[in-house]
Every structure is written in C-alpha cells, then in structure tokens.
Structure 1
Amino acid sequence: MLSVLAACSLLTLPAQAEPTAEALLEHLDQLYQQDSAQATLRMEIINPDYERTLRLESWSLGMDYSLVRVLEPARDRGVSTLKRENEMWNYLPRVNRTVRVPPSMMMGSWMGSDFTNDDLMRDTSWAEEYDVSMTTTDSTHELTLVPREQTVTVWGRMEISVDRDSLLPLEQRYFNERDELARVMTFSDVRDFGGLSLPARLTLEPADKEDQRTTVIYESLAFDVDLTPDFFSLQNLRR
C-alpha cells in the first residue's frame, strides 16, 4: 500500500559486488512499486484506547498515482483515498462527500493509524531528495539519509538497515529536526510475490508512545497490472 510503499532488484550490479550507497537507496526507493501495482492488505491498528483492523485494496502507477479503498469493516467500506500527482482527496461514502486534503493536514493520521497522509503522498524519490552515506557490518548495510536543502520534509534524517544478503530492508528509523527518534518501521515475513521476494509485514511504531503500533500485512501483491492515469479519477474514487 503506502508509498511508504519500479525496479525491485539491483540488476546492474556485477555478481558478488557490494552496492554503492546511491544504488542501494535507488533499489529501496522502488520496492513495492514497479511501474504499476495492485494489492490487498490488512492494517492492524493498536493503541491504548482501541484496536481495529481494516482490509484494504490499493492500486498505484509509479509515484504519481495511487488509490486506496477500505473493504472491511462494513461501517468503513468504501472510504477511499486518491492521490494524483501533488493532490490528494478522501471520499466518505456515509455522507457521499469528497474532501480535498490540504497541505496543513498532511501530517494528520490516516484512518486513525500511525501512518500519515504525507506517507501516502510521497511522490519523489529518496535518491533525488536525500544525500546518503553507508557503513557496512557483517550482516547489514546501514544507510543514513540527510535531506537536501531544497527537500520539503518533517524529518531531520532517516536511517535504514538493509540485509546484506537479500538487499531487503530490516528497519527504518525516522528522526525529527531536533535529531530525536520519532518512529521506527520494521520489515519482516519475507514472501514471494510473483517471483519477487519482499517483506509482507511492515510495522510502524511511534518512539514516544508505548503500546501503540500500526501493522500492514500484504495478502496479495501484483506488479505490472494494466493501469492508466485515467483510472485514478475522482469518479473512480467515489465508486
């Protein structure tokens, strides 16, 4: 789902070669994307006040277009979010209303989860927006991402731990502008999706809130599906 969420392998690397920091970041940038993708997934939201589970269907076309629709529970069925380039809308079927999401709401929670509207709206690549450096341990590559001067972001930096053998992400840490750890994303449960091995479980935990987390579990994920920009329309948002 989330753009948190085109090429899923470092095909240009010679066998046995260690990736450069830049090549590895480009690889991670495009996981779960490809040119087009369709997925069904489950989102489990846990916090001290309540627990809820959503089933979702999502479609994406590159980084410019995405549509996410709630399938379950019944009371939320049809609630949808559409992203077209730099604009975002929510559709609320109970009141039959389409609402444009303003920039001031981008850091707001999406459907009560720990993911934000901004997570869904990410439309530029990390490789283009961040300077990256890398250190390597026996088992991992450790990337540090620092936003470039022109990059618009709330994060002061990010750190990503990548498995050295599979080149799949293990953990991503987000730091605020005061260099305090703000949240942690962990990746687990590697599965085969159409010949591509990817983590099927993504868990996002705020660093300052105990007993709170949001987990996304991919049930199915297909790439190179037949989609065009016309699919991502306000009319289709309301269907």
Structure 2
Amino acid sequence: MKNVLIGLVVALALTTGARAEMSAQEIVAKVDEGRNPGQGFRVLDTLTEYINGKPRDSMQIVVFAVENKTRQYNNLIRYVQPARDAGKMVLMNGSNMWFYDPSSKASVRISPQQRLLGQASNGDVATVNLARDYAAKLIGEESLQDADKQNRACWHLELKAANDEAVYSRVEYWVEKGTFRQIKGKFYSDSGRLLKIAYYHKFTPMLGRIIPAETIVIDSVNTNLVTTMAISDMRFQTVPDSWFQRDFLPRLKID
C-alpha cells in the first residue's frame, strides 16, 4: 500500500510538472500579451541610422494600430519627419500593404520587408500578432547578454511563418523567462539568409505594459550599420475603420 501511495505521489508530481511546462506557442502568446495593448492606439517612432557609431539619417513616423476580427493588426504609418516626406503614409491591412504619396494621390503596393530607414522595414514598425502568424518551436534555454550586457535567462524560440501575413518566413527569438520580454531577435529572408539582428531594451511602462522603448537593429553583414527604433508618446486612440481603407487615403485628415 505504501509503495502504491508513493507511486501516486510521484505520478502526480510528474503530471503537475508537465502541466507547468509552457509550450513554445504559449510563450509567444504571452509575448504578444505583454507587447500589444488591448485596444486601438497610436505611438511615435523615431528611427535613426548609424554608421560606425555616428548618426547618418533619421526620420519620425506615427503608427496607428487596431486589432481586427481575425486577431491581426491593421496599421497606418504616417511620416512626420523629415519635412520632405511629411504626410506620406503606409497602410498595412492584413497581408496587403500600400504606400501613399499625397503629392500624386497615388497608392502603390509594397512589401512589409521594404525598408523605411537603414535596416528598419515597414514590418518592423507595424504591430503584429506573433502567435497568430507563426508556428513556434522551443529550441532550448540559454543565458544571454542583453543590449546592456546584463545576463538574462531566456527561452530560445524558432518561429516559422504560418500564413501569408507573416512579415518574415523565419525568426529566432530569445524571450526572458518569467517576464516574457523579448531580448534578442534574428530575422531571415525566404532563402534562409540572415538579414538582421535586433536587441530590445529600455523597458518602460506604457499603456499598462512594460514595453521596450528602444530596439537596436544590426546589419547581419556589416555590423557597423545600426538602426535604432525608439518609441514614445504611446497612447490609446479610437481609430475609425475607414482609416484602413486604401480608397480613403486621399481623404484622410490627421491632426
């Protein structure tokens, strides 16, 4: 009888431990939960390109994002600076993305991978739902140095595109255990070539979440080419559905 009880206790402990183990997909869902506000919002994004540690170019954009009925985000990106680009817009609606120029009142189909500045692309500044767009696999657990040279205990995940709306065909993420914060990312082309490496830091409270206020993006070939993406002025905003309609862009007025 005693042996039977011991066996039941061991079995229960193993079962509880197994249930405590999170799947890779559950980890990615927690990353989404920590990154994405639960309602429409806007955020100012400042992009700066550096060559050998010296700034070469910069731009500012405002991103408006709302989660749609398919659990993906519709994004409207509006150029603020430099002055020559002010008023230009990028619309991301599902897997469709268009660039709109107010001078010609024409919208042109583009790809999420098309660059905004340096190594920062349209897809990098857009809000996405990773758990929806990618199938995740847990590679292992690693101790990793973050952008500030601090050691972080991380899950190492591999994400592969699960639908046509995924920005990249393959991504690797290092996610801190316990906090579910993204620490590092690697992004690959459709051919499997490493495109860039990203580090996430300056975690700051925004809209009830702790979000990386700056992302450092490093060119995979020339590490002297670095682009930073710094976000600020993040706030909830009701965004009309009409803003995400391509035909409405010529009539869109944003203060």
Unaligned runs of 5+ in 1: 1-16
Specify which of 38, 51, 68 is matched with residue 34 of structure 1: 38
Quote how far apart the aligned CAs of 1:143 are: 2.8
Determine whether 1:116 maps to 2:129: no
Amino acid at match of 1:82: L
| Preserved contact between residue 144 and residue 157 of structure 1 (Cα < 8 Å) | no
Specify the alignment match of 2:207 in structure 1: 194
Specify the alignment match of 1:66 in structure 2: 75
Structure with more helix by fraction: 2
Determine whether 1:182 maps to 2:195: yes
| Preserved contact between residue 32 and residue 129 of structure 2 (Cα < 8 Å) | no
Quote how far apart the aligned CAs of 1:128 are: 4.8
Within-5 A mapping of 1:106-145: 106-110=112-116, 112-119=117-124, 125-137=130-142, 139-145=152-158
Specify the alignment match of 2:59 in structure 1: 54
CA RMSD of aligned residues (A): 3.1
Quote how far apart the aligned CAs of 1:82 are: 1.2
TM-score (norm 2): 0.71
Determine whether 1:101 maps to 2:109: yes
Measure the CA separation in 1 of the matches of 2:63 and 2:126: 14
Cα-to-partner distance string for 1:17-55 (whole Å, 9 max, x where unaligned):
664322111122352353322111211123479822212
| Preserved contact between residue 214 and residue 231 of structure 2 (Cα < 8 Å) | yes
- Matched length: 218
Specify which of 161, 168, 181 is matched with residue 168 of structure 1: 181
Change (3 A) 1:69 1:177: closer
Unaligned runs of 5+ in 2: 1-19, 144-151
Q: Considering only CA atoms, is the larger Rg found in Structure 1 or Structure 2?
A: 2
Cα-to-partner distance string for 1:143-192 (whole Å, 9 max, x where unaligned):
32242686676856422112224221110112446655331111010111
Specify the alignment match of 2:224 in structure 1: 211
